Structure 1
Amino acid sequence: MSTVAVAIICKTPAPGKSKTRLSPPLRPEECAEISACFIADLSATIAALTAEGDAQGYAVYTPAGTEAALTRLLPLDFGLVLQGEGDLGQRLDKGIADLLALGHAGAILINSDSPTLPKALLREAVEALKSGDRVVLSPALDGGYTFIGLSRPHPQLFADMPWSTPEVHRLTLERAHDIALPVVELAPWYDVDDAASYALLERELDGLPLSFAPADLARQPAARTAAFVRRRRAAASALPAQAGAA
């Protein structure tokens, strides 16, 4: 199969269990709502990529039993692959292996916190994976990576990694070097997982430039996320008027 699997690794949104580091500023129910927006927007970007004919979209998801709720957020042609057990590294490794076992020429796993991730970066990643055994990375601003792509399983990249620390990207490069695995590094992007990155998302949706992004990198509209941000702002701006009227 000459297609590349392009997958969101995600948890089906639920209040109190989704994007908890965004509370505050968001309430728990808003965290679940924006998580659903992120998944819907990112999957729409992947669907636009797959329409070009050489990629297939998936969600590598958890928990089991939430398929009906998750599929309501995804394009109709998306596949579902259940996450494995263990830490993030074990789940990433198994997710890559499971997607490659379906016969794809490569597999990309994208975090579910980057609703504005440009399609152009995913296009570059797909092209790189069709060219042989290598790892493709988009570094994240927090020291991790926004997505990782492989054309063959390489468990060494994921084992005993200090996840959620600024060392992840650096250590991944070191491990790729140790096993003589070529690395393709693409432009960086960012994860929306705390108050500071939520503020960055708002600025981006307002059309302000991102200092780390190439000027010619086309923005994704992230329509559902943008609508969420507008509704939340409108509700917040209405509060003083309501308080005055009371």
Structure 2
Amino acid sequence: MTRIVIFAKAPVPGQVKTRLIPALGADGAAELAHRMLLHTCQEALAAKVGPVELCLADHPGWTEAPPAGVTLTAQGEGDLGDRLWRAAERSGPPLLLIGADCPELDRRRLGAAADRLRGCDAFLHPAEDGGYALLGLNRLDRSLFTSIAWSTGTVARKTAERIEALDWSLHIGETLRDIDEPADLALLGASLP
């Protein structure tokens, strides 16, 4: 069984999807983040590859329970790398680390990633912005999460380089699109109910 860990911020107005606020306003950006979060949870559950965990950034104003079948955990302190490492170490491999801002990461792709991970040490779905939409791991090493320039166009490349430096087998899947900027809203189409 492969655990899916969804990394996300609580959909609180003014705190989430801030680059979309010029197009949607703070409430609209938070509502979209909420819809994408629920959609991601539903798709992760529907993939039926293993337990689903929602790992949220701490926010005292968010009290909504996760969907049935999804375990809620807190990301804790530190930069994104610290928080990802903590979640990966707690969950243990095999696991799929994903965000909640890539509606293209549907049940079919999640299931295929879990299947592919059975035959390699790591699986990566790069994102068009240079990050990654999914990092699947059968082994753990902290170097994958340290000294990374998070939220830049080099994250996926640096992660792949580090996996190769560990002499692990790596499969790179198709490049997917995150919804981060106003121009990305046109990509939503039918991918998000």
Normalising by structure 1, report the TM-score. Answer: 0.74
For 1:42-75, what per-residue CA distance to the aligned partner results, in whole angstroms no more than 9, with x for missing partners? 111111112xxx4111101121656631x2xx43
Kindly indicate whether residue 81 of structure 2 is the aligned counterpart of residue 93 of structure 1.
no
Amino acid at match of 2:76: G
Q: Residues of 2 paired with 1:193 and 1:49: CA distance?
A: 24
The match for 1:68 is: 63
Matching residue within 176, 180, 186 for 1:193: 180
For these two proteins, the number of residue pairs brought into alignment is 193
Q: Distance in 2 between matches of 1:33 and 1:159?
A: 32
Q: Is the 8 A contact 2:126 2:174 kept in 1?
A: yes
In 2, are the aligned partners of 1:39 and 1:115 still within 8 Å (CA)?
A: no
Query: Any idea what the Cα deviations from partners look like across 1:2-55, whole Å, max 9, x if unmatched?
Result: x111121011111110110101111001111111000011111111112xxx41
Deviations 1:175-211 (A, max 9, x none): 111110111111121110111112222xx43xxxxxx
Moved over 6 A (4+): none
Greater C-alpha radius of gyration = 1
Where do 5+ consecutive residues of structure 2 fail to align?
A: none
Q: Deviations over 1:59-110 (max 9, x none)?
A: 01121656631x2xx431111121131111111111111111xxxx411111
Structure 1 gap ranges (5+): 206-220, 224-246
1:151 corresponds to: 138
What is the identity percentage for the equivalent residue pairs of Structure 1 and Structure 2? 31
> Of residues 4, 17, 20 in structure 2, which corresponds to 1:19?
17
- My pick for the range that moved more, 114-123 or 17-26, is 114-123
SS of 1:25 mapped into structure 2: helix
Q: Residue in 2 aligned with 1:83? A: 75
What is residue 177 of structure 1 aligned with on the other side? Answer: 164
Give the one of 33, 37, 40 matched to 1:39: 37
Distance in 1 separating the partners of 2:143 and 2:28: 37
Q: Which amino acid aligns with 1:38?
A: M
In structure 2, distance between residues paired with 1:58 and 1:148: 15
Match of 2:50 in 1: 55
Q: 1:155 offset after TM fit, Å?
A: 0.9
The one-letter code sitting in structure 1 at the alignment partner of 2:174 is A
* 1:140 aligned residue: 127
Give 2:95's aligned residue: 107
Cα RMSD between the aligned structures? 1.7
TM-score relative to the length of structure 2: 0.92
Give, in whole Å, the separation in 2 of the partners of 1:156 and 1:138.
19
